[in-house]
Amino acid sequence: MSTNDGDIEIRTLSTAEEMVDVVDVFQQVWGSPTELVRLEMLMAVAHSGGYVSAAYDTTRPGQQHGTILGASLGILARHHDQPALHSHVTGLLPGIRHAGIGRTLKMHQRSWAADRDIDWIVWTFDPLVRRNAWFNIAVLGADVAEYLPSFYGKMTDAINAGDESDRLLIAWDVHGELPSTPRDGSGVTKAQLVPTPEDIVALRRTDPDAVAEWRATTREALTSALEAGRPILGFTRTGDYVIGERG
């Protein structure tokens, strides 16, 4: 399955030769000294019916159908006892993260799931990474299903090292309507705003104590709200989670 968006092609992969580039992309994105996902695992997922895709710039020379720009790996799963795709890793090479390719990758993933009668796409992300929260909640319109403290234990890659691996579990209804405007908290009554740092990745390098304080404060606020049945209904352009009730 492939999707073309101008000069960008998104397509699912199946051969070991293709997976070599995916392994390299993931390792570059996360700055990991070791392979983030091994080639053997990628082949096993693809061969057993899971999702492995990559984005290519077809105007630039490279292997296969162009130069690889990013990739995504998803594992067959369950959510609410319904068929789901757990999107385990999606990454874009530095310098192209604001070119709309991330959304194109996600829409390819959504079409792939719909074609296979899969109801949900679920994935995790660091609740302190502002740009990911905006993309997942406001742009894609996905819902926060759960707060997962220290989900991956201790991590050693260049992006996450020195911080706790808290994650939010996102659930995206494959058959639901996409937001016509960003879910930025408009229309939410009795709203509670939970702020995020402007750049948690940079802050990890300069002020670990501030990172720990942000982590503890945000964990408490989001966990308390979700446990009390108050959902996260949006994310503002200025970096706040919006908790409350729909108006």
Domain boundaries, the chain: 2-181
Mean pLDDT throughout 164-193? 93
Average of per-residue pLDDT values in the chain: 90
The segment with the largest mean pLDDT, out of 98-107, 134-143, 154-163, is 134-143
In the chain, the N- to C-terminal Cα span, in Å, equals 40
User: Which segment of 2-6, 44-48, 69-73, 89-93 scores lowest on mean pLDDT?
Assistant: 2-6
Q: Are strands 51-57 and 8-12 parallel, antiparallel or unpaired?
A: antiparallel
pLDDT greater than 70 at residue 246: no
Task: Tell me whether strands 232-235 and 167-173 are parallel, antiparallel or unpaired.
Answer: unpaired
Q: What is the CA radius of gyration of the chain?
A: 18
Pairing state of beta strands 232-235 and 240-246? antiparallel
- Strands 82-92 and 120-125, bridge-based pairing: parallel
pLDDT, residue 81, reads: 96
The superfamily (CATH) of domain 2-181 is Gcn5-related N-acetyltransferase (GNAT) (3.40.630.30)
The Cα–Cα gap between 244 and 5 comes to 37
Percent of the chain's residues with pLDDT above 70: 89
Q: Smallest Cα–Cα separation from 238: which of 143, 144, 166, 131?
A: 131
Mean pLDDT of 62-70: 74
Q: Cα–Cα distance between 26 and 72 in angstroms, integer?
A: 9
For the question of whether the overall pTM of this predicted structure is more than 0.85, the answer is yes
Q: Are 13 and 112 in contact (CB under 8 A)?
A: no
Mean pLDDT of 53-76: 84
- Tell me: pLDDT of 192 over 70: yes
Q: Are 90 and 71 in contact, with CB atoms under 8 Å apart?
A: yes
Mean pLDDT of 122-130: 97
pLDDT of residue 2: 58
Of 108-117, 182-191, 235-244, where does mean pLDDT reach its minimum?
182-191
pLDDT of residue 190: 85
Average confidence (pLDDT) over 6-26: 92
